Amino acid sequence: MIKVGDKLPEAKFSMLDDGDMKNPTTKDLFAGKKVVLFAVPGAFTPTCSQAHLPGYVALADKIKAKGVEEIICLSVNDAFVMDAWGKASNAEHIIMLADGNGAFCKAMGLDMDTDSFGGVRSQRFSMLIEDATVKALNVEDAGRFEVSDAETMLAML
């Protein structure tokens, strides 16, 4: 599993930007920037929609006031689902990023197989990243939501 001090693996993502499909890379998103990345097992799922994403939406201004340039929500979903979820959640200050086949999560060792529920998904986690290097990492135990929330990340900044 990736750890504090490691560089992020190279990956290609997908996202919608004003209706246009974009495919940014790890370098595009993280090089030379201070970024908070949080990942969820699935868009529109209960804990993700009722607590995880809403916490970052509510605290986005406070997190960015601490010098964070971008807040990214990552899920192993497609870009269209992530875009719709962001719009439904008023997440206009958060980049809704798709790791469509889970390659990025797998490369970090933060994937999980949910079997018939959804297949390969991301574990629930948050990280502080500076210039593509992990500075803080909070990985949840299976079925938990205690350390990857926005309040914990804000307190770490």
DSSP H or E segment with residue 106: helix 103-108
Q: Phi, psi (5° rounding) for residue 113?
A: -105, 115
CA 151, CA 155: separation in Å to the nearest integer?
Answer: 6
Token representation of residue 25: 């890379």
User: Active-site residues: which are they?
Assistant: 48
CA 120, CA 139: separation in Å to the nearest integer?
Answer: 17
Place of tokens 């990243």: 129
